[in-house]
Structure 1
Amino acid sequence: MKKLLLIRHAKAEKETAGKDIDRPLKYIGMQDAAFMADRIKDEHIVPQTIITSPALRTKTTAEIFTDHLKLANPTSNKAIYEASQQTWLKIINQLPAEYDFIGIVGHNPGVSQILYYLTGEAREVHTSTTALIEFETDEWAAISRDTGKLTYYSSPKE
């Protein structure tokens, strides 16, 4: 069985003088990310590894999660930044086979789109939301439309 934890980055600054990819988290975003990391730890939902978009806000969110969950530093995948649904599926299908449970920190609308594509469940994915999807397969490459079951969904707003 493969498990995927989708994590939307925490609340970021709206406008900065630099590029979108360099937007930092707001203080409340850092608090929300820590809160959600602790929540999933309490629920025993701890991935083996976390992969993140290279954007500052996703990297910081991923670092907060790995710190709270006592995981190795997150790895970065540039394809996650501004990924379409098709790109998300390609990323998931190519995840490392040695892991059965991976967390991915990404952006909307991609997180919402791939959640719906994989599970058929339309959810509003606020910042810092976590969604656990379980698949009845041992191969990441076998994952496609409606092959996943949403088994956990939570956000700081709940």
Structure 2
Amino acid sequence: MKTLLLIRHAKSSWNDPDTDDFDRPLNKRGKQNAPEMAERLMNKGVVPELIISSPAKRTRTTAKLMADIWKYPKQAIILEEELYLCYASTFLKVITKIDDDFNTIAIYAHNPGITDFANYLTEEIRIDNVPTAGVFAIQADTETWSDFDRAKKTFLFFDYPRKD
């Protein structure tokens, strides 16, 4: 079994309109929500063995804040250029390259691609929007990441900071 956590970056700052989109930092709420969501995942017994992130500042920072909670080494976070503002199909290209030794992975990315990909993965539920710091989790009945797309999938949970 392979478990995929799709995680949208936490809330970013729009304080400086001259800041390039790629370089936007997290705002105060984003810096609080990321560790809170990491704690929630730990409480569910779900901690990734591999973290892959878009290289944009807000996604990198979200991944690092969550990695701190999990005691995951920040230098081991893989920055994947293709994940910056990507389409849903790009996620599969990234996933199929993952080493099969990893059973639970987290991919940090952006909307609308992350919401589109979450909806592609299951017919059980439909999500209008993965909110900032939101986590969509799914399990695939496969031993290899290269077979992830064809494998039978089971929706695990969808969580986000302001969820009841």
TM-score, normalised to structure 2, is 0.91
Match for residue 121 of structure 2 among 118, 122, 126: 118
Q: 1:150 Cα deviation (Å)?
A: 1.4
1:87 Cα shift?
1.0
Query: 1:82 and 1:147 mapped to 2: Cα distance?
Result: 27
Q: Relative to structure 2, which stretch is displaced further, 18-27 or 85-94?
A: 85-94
Tell me if 1:104 matches 2:107: yes
Match of 2:82 in 1: 79
Tell whether 2:15 aligns with 1:10. Answer: no
Q: Report the TM-score, using the length of structure 1 for normalisation.
A: 0.94
- Per-residue displacement from partner, 1:27-54 (whole Å, max 9, x unpaired)? 1011011111111111111011211000
- Compute the displacement of 1:146 (Å): 7.8
- Within 5 Å, give how 1:47-66 maps onto structure 2: 47-66=48-67
Residues 134 and 151 of structure 1 are in contact (CA less than 8 Å); yes or no, is this contact kept in structure 2? yes
Q: 2:93: which partner in 1?
A: 90
Counterpart residue type for residue 10 of structure 1: A
Please list the CA deviations of residues 87-122 of structure 1 after superposition, one character each: whole Å capped at 9, or x if unmatched: 111111222222111101110111111111111232
Tell me if the contact between 1:119 and 1:147 (Cα under 8 Å) persists in the aligned partners.
Answer: no
The equivalent residue for 1:150 is 155
Q: CA deviation at 1:18?
A: 2.6
SS in 2 for 1:103: strand
| Distance in 2 between residues matched to 1:46 and 1:152, nearest whole Å | 14
Distance 1:118 1:147, change over 3 A: farther
Percent identical residues:
35
Give 5+ residue unaligned stretches, structure 2.
Answer: none
Q: Bigger CA drift: 87-96 or 32-41?
A: 87-96
CA-based RMSD: 1.4
Q: Is the 8 A contact 1:118 1:147 kept in 2?
A: no
Segments ≥4 residues shifted beyond 2 Å: 145-148
Cα distance in 2 for partners of 1:150, 1:19 equals 35
Q: How many residues align?
A: 158
